């Protein structure tokens, strides 16, 4: 099973969309194996967005993600990264398809509601950055798993 990290970003939290965002992933069939509400520290934000450190928007991105509490979610499932990214929609909300989170609720790239890991490798790294192994509950069986996973 693949893992991915989802962050319900400050704009989604301020707009009261956390439940809707979480619901989309659950309805897709992805399994929540970890979830918590937290205020991301500047240090953690800089580590999380380190790939963008040299870009001009890095400082604003760190300021934004640390501006309000977020919900971080570790998801697991078959092709979890691509399934989650399809559920989220294109990075630029105006280019995101209707029916995706960003397509339905977003307008601007700087307020695009949700983060999702971009690869299985990054999913593992990102989940480990936000969750200790003891905070993940992967082994619990759901009654619907036989109807979601082959």
* Active-site annotation holds for 52: no
| Catalytic member of 115, 117, 130, 131 | 115
> What are the Cα distances from residue 21, in Å, to 8, 15, 35, 39, 75?
7, 11, 13, 18, 13
116 φ, ψ to 5°?
-135, 140
Which tokens is 15 given? 């707009």
* Positions marked active-site: 115
């Amino acid at each position: 099973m693949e893992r991915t990290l989802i962050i319900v970003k400050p704009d989604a939290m301020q707009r009261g969309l956390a439940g809707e965002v979480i619901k989309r992933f659950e309805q897709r069939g992805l399994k929540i194996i970890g979830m918590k509400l937290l205020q991301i520290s500047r240090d953690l934000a800089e580590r999380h967005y380190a790939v963008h450190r040299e870009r001009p928007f890095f400082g604003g991105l760190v300021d934004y993600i640390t501006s309000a509490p977020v919900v971080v979610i570790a998801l697991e499932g078959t092709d979890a990264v691509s399934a989650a990214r399809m559920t989220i929609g294109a990075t630029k909300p105006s280019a995101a398809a209707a029916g995706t989170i960003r397509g339905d609720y977003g307008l601007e790239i700087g307020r695009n509601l949700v983060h999702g890991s971009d690869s299985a490798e990054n999913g593992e790294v990102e989940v480990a950055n936000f969750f200790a192994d003891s905070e993940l509950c992967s082994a619990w069986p759901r009654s619907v798993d036989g109807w979601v996973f082959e």
